[in-house]
Amino acid sequence: MESRFQRGREKIFNKLDFPTDVALDLPKIIVTGNREITIENHRGIMAFENSLIKINSRIGAITIMGEGFEILFIGDNTITISGIFKGISYEG
């Protein structure tokens, strides 16, 4: 039932030209080279290590692999991380 409701919401917001990430609370990931990542609409940090970061989102965990991670900014729904990134994967 929820997926049917979700599809209906998506159709309405698409017709209204409303940004999908805002309307559906989806994570928006902005990657700058392999040195900086900004994730909007996150739901907290699940794990933070030198070579792995897991960020919670509405669609599941976002895992970032690499090295030398550092949090540059963290707010209510935005986080910016620097380091050398080697991969991003989604769980869930």
How does pLDDT run along the chain (92 residues), one tens digit per residue? 557 776 776 777 667 666 565 555 789 999 999 999 999 999 999 999 999 999 999 889 999 999 999 999 999 899 999 999 999 999 87
Number of domains observed in the structure of the chain? 1
Return the pLDDT at 17. 67
In the sheet that holds 78-90, the strands lie side by side as: 28-32, 36-40, 78-90, 60-74, 52-57, 45-48
Return the pLDDT at 9. 66
Residue 89 one-letter amino acid = S
Residue range(s) defining the domain that contains residue 56: 24-90
42, part of any domain:
yes
pTM check: above 0.85: no
The token pair that represents 60 in the structure block: 């599941």
Q: What CATH number does the domain containing 84 carry?
A: 2.60.40.2000
Give φ, ψ of 19 to 5 degrees: -60, 125
